[in-house]
Amino acid sequence: MELAEQSQATTWRATWLAQANAHPYTSAGLGLALAAVAWLLVASILQLVSGEADAALRLGLLGGMAGFAVMMVLDTALG
């Protein structure tokens, strides 16, 4: 079973690399968008930790974490 999982991961990686090589501008744009979202997430978490965040940000982050936790539990239970 372990061998099948490694082969599938290699196939997905090879497919992703082929797509990224075929469309470099799209890949660069997606990478830039990912960096921007990560930066905004870090900035929001820093506001939350420093105590400068308002209630809407706090509730939004808590809701997002709750949704993520539920998906993890469902994935573990069903998958």
What domain count does the chain have?
1
Q: pLDDT at position 5, please?
A: 61
Mean pLDDT for the chain overall: 86
Length of the chain: 79
- Across 64-73, average pLDDT: 93
How much is the pLDDT for 4? 58
Distance CA 79, CA 42 (A): 31
Beta strands per DSSP E along the chain: none
Q: Report the alpha-carbon distance of residue 12 to residue 41 in Å, rounded.
A: 27
pTM > 0.95: no
Domain extent at residue 72: 2-78
